[in-house]
Amino acid sequence: MNAMRNINTKGRIAVVTGAGSGIGRAVAKALSGAGWSVVLAGRHPEKLTETADAMEGDALPVRTDVSKPEDVDALFAAVDERYGRLDLLFNNAGTFGPGGVPLEDLPYSAWRKVVDTNLTGTFLCAQAAFRLMKSQDPRGGRIINNGSVSAHAPRPDSIAYTATKHGMTGLTKSLSLDGRPYRIACGQIDIGNAATDMTERMRRGVMQANGELAVEPVMDVADVATTVLHMAELPLEANVQFATVLATGMPFVGRG
């Protein structure tokens, strides 16, 4: 993929990681509804198939563990082979890790799993996307990273997740700078309490900074997908650097 390539394709091509459920599935469906061809990456093929079946247009499921370089290489090789170009990468794959575990009791293996998935996986996918976006003609593309409101403020007992999401912000800024000469735009969406299986605990009550349990409001995951679609469809001359979309009443701004 070192030589410049000029391959005619119909429509725009996107990769969505973590596409088997939740935010990834909602974003894949929104992109498909807007005419994008979407490559669906995730660890569970059956979930990717469910996502593809729920979409309107062209979909390519590729079983991928983003923490493994060989899986990421195979993912982007499949993109290059089928489409010859890439217009959008939505780096969405991530994990919270074990909840409610005090810092001093967090196993090293749990720390590594969160870091390898959330931060290293995002880097590996962005690196592979850069290589393809720089080599194609017309050159360029867009990367959108799924940050979190945890990129701004932590929850109790969430050190691994919070550290990776703070790291995501630095990664996004570096990608933006390094991509500038090649028309590669990079932005970050920080999401708070979208209604998915991963946030079901918010409806039951989640630990607050004052030590109390409280039920938190959630928002429709489709509203996240709408925001990502807006970011994705801007011309490359414009970029949403950071966007925060959250359930209006969640305890985030100020003191809760």
Does the structure show a pLDDT above 60 at 255?
Answer: no
Mean pLDDT of the 150-156 span: 89
CA distance 208 to 150: 13
Instruction: Give the pLDDT score at 10.
Output: 55
- Residue 183's region, left for phi above 0, alpha for psi from -120 to 50, else beta, is left
CATH architecture for residues 13-246 = 3-Layer(aba) Sandwich (3.40)
Per-residue pLDDT tens digits for 168-223: 999 999 999 999 999 999 999 999 888 877 677 777 788 888 888 888 889 899 99
> What would the pLDDT profile of 67-118 be if each residue is shown by its tens digit?
999 999 999 999 999 999 999 999 999 998 887 789 999 999 999 999 999 9
Helix, strand and coil in the chain, % to nearest 5: 45, 20, 35
pTM (2 decimals)? 0.91
Q: Based on the number of CB atoms within 10 Å of its own CB, is 181 exposed (0-12), middle (13-18) or buried (19 or more)?
A: exposed
Question: Computed over its alpha carbons, how large is the radius of gyration of the chain?
Answer: 18
pLDDT in tens, 8-59: 345 899 999 999 999 999 999 999 999 999 999 999 999 999 999 999 899 9
Rounded Cα distance, 220 and 111, in Å: 30
CA distances for 22 relative to 25, 28, 83, angstroms: 5, 10, 26
**Residue 78: which H helix or E strand, with range?**
helix 69-83
Domain boundaries defined on the chain: 13-246
Helix (H) or strand (E) holding 62: strand 59-63
CA 41 – CA 103 distance, rounded (Å): 31
Q: Phi and psi dihedrals of 175, rounded to 5?
A: -60, -40
Please calculate the CA angle 40-146-113 and round it to the nearest 5 degrees.
80
DSSP-derived secondary structure letter, 119: I
Q: What is the pLDDT, as a whole number, of residue 7? A: 37
E strands in 83-233 = 88-91, 141-146, 184-192, 206-207, 213-214
- What is the model's pLDDT at position 208? 83
- Residue 3 is predicted with a pLDDT of 39
Specify the pLDDT at position 193.
86
> Is 161 part of the annotated catalytic residue set?
yes
Average pLDDT, the chain: 92
Give tens-digit pLDDT for 130-142.
999 999 999 999 9
